[in-house]
């Protein structure tokens, strides 16, 4: 076991459950509404809509596992759903995380080709290609995430645990696996995305013939991706691997001064990374003006309903 005097585990149970509740509510509403809107406006979205649809499916798949994780942390890290379902839950998280990164990368490549090489790709990117790309992303992400299921998720003397990584006895091997998956599942897609947008911005800045609306939409998508990578993906991968390294050293009897700080930072990054399921619907808003107008209409209706409820409440209080 990890030395409890070196690392305090109390923070996780206090921080993650409220985050999961918030993400579950916002994510289910936003993704459910976004997917419905996509299906209604499918023909207007074109091939890129298939990628966004798969992005939404990845979010829903993960969000459905959050209630079980809420129960886990509310029960003070007691997993009551069995080891097999623990591994499935963690597998769904990895599918969502790396599937989201994969589909966002593909969307960036699509946008890059449409702006930088419009004549070369005009009429050549068909629906079958987008379906094939989506299937390929799912297969690659599944292949990357499958080895994680073979690592024990329960402690040898606490079978009710459900580690998001693995038990302490296999931490050395898992650190190597985690570094490899960070390279293939995160750093390479990040490099592709940055390369696409770096070239795209250069073309947009020096070409005055490109439609101004297209420029604004491309820049908005860039801002969304910067938000997702900066808030959700980069901190998670940095602190996850640092925490694994720290755990390995603590197990070997080396207690660093920064070990507890890294552990807390890693738990915060776990909360931030699950926010991607609530933030990914921003991509829906970017791709469809119809969805944007529906969102504004929904917001206005909600605000009017709240104001009406507040006014009626105040009136009843005055009369009483």
Asked whether the predicted pLDDT for residue 10 surpasses 80, the reply is no
Provide the mean pLDDT of the chain: 83
DSSP conformational letter for 67: H
pLDDT, tens digit, 9 for 90 and up, residues 52-72: 899 999 999 999 999 999 999
pLDDT of residue 91: 95
In tens, the pLDDT along 172-201 reads: 999 999 999 999 999 999 999 999 988 888
**Percent over 70 (pLDDT), the chain:** 82
Per-residue pLDDT band for 159 (boundaries 50, 70, 90) equals low
Cα–Cα distances in Å, from 28 out to 54, 63, 281, 288?
15, 7, 10, 19
pLDDT greater than 50 at residue 99 = yes
**Cβ atoms of residues 6 and 262 within 8 Å:** no
The CATH code that applies to domain 10-305 is 1.20.1070.10
Reported as a pLDDT band with limits 50, 70 and 90, residue 125 is confident
Q: Are residues 215 and 204 in contact, defined by beta-carbon separation less than 8 angstroms?
A: yes
State mean pLDDT over 37-56.
79
Taking only the tens place, the pLDDT of each residue in 283-309 is: 877 665 555 555 555 556 556 665 676
C-alpha separations of 26 from 32, 34, 57, 143, 281 in Å: 10, 12, 15, 30, 10
- The 3-state DSSP composition of the chain as helix, strand, coil percent (nearest 5) reads 80, 0, 20
pLDDT at 259: 81
Q: Is the pLDDT of residue 164 over 80?
A: yes
Enter the tokens of residue 2. 């990890």
| 108 contacts: CB under 8 Å, gap ≥ 6 | 192, 193, 196, 197, 221, 225
pTM: 0.85
Tokens coding 108: 């960036």
The pLDDT, as a whole number, for residue 209 is: 73
**Residue 216 vs residues 152, 221, 236, 283, 286: alpha-carbon distances, Å:** 48, 9, 30, 14, 10
């Amino acid at each position: 076991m990890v030395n409890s005097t070196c690392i305090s585990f109390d923070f996780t149970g206090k921080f993650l459950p409220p985050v999961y509740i918030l993400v579950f509510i916002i994510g289910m509403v936003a993704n459910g509404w976004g997917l419905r809107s996509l299906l209604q406006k499918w023909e207007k979205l074109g091939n890129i809509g298939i990628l966004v649809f798969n992005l939404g499916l990845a979010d829903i798949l993960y969000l459905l596992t959050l209630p079980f994780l809420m129960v886990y942390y509310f029960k003070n890290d007691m997993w009551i759903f069995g080891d097999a379902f623990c591994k499935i839950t963690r597998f769904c998280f990895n599918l969502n995380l790396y599937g989201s990164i994969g589909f966002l990368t593909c969307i960036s490549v699509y946008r890059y080709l449409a702006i930088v090489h419009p004549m070369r790709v005009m009429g050549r990117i068909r629906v079958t290609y987008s379906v094939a790309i989506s299937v390929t992303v799912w297969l690659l992400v599944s292949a990357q995430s499958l080895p994680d299921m073979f690592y024990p998720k329960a402690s040898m003397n606490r079978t009710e645990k459900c580690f998001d990584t693995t038990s302490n006895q296999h931490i050395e091997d898992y650190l190597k696996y985690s570094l490899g998956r960070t390279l293939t599942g995160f750093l390479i897609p990040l490099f592709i995305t940055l390369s696409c947008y770096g070239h795209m911005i250069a073309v947009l800045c020096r070409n005055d013939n490109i439609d101004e609306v297209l420029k604004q939409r491309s820049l908005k998508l860039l801002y969304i991706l910067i938000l997702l990578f900066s808030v959700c993906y980069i901190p998670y991968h940095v602190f996850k691997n640092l925490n694994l390294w720290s755990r390995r050293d603590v197990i070997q009897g080396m207690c660093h001064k920064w070990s507890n700080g890294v552990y807390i930072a890693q738990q915060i990054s776990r909360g931030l990374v699950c926010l991607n399921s609530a933030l990914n619907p921003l991509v829906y808003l970017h791709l469809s003006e119809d969805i944007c107008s529906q969102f504004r209409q929904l917001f206005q209706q909600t605000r009017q309903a709240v104001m009406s409820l507040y006014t009626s409440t105040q009136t009843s209080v005055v009369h009483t």
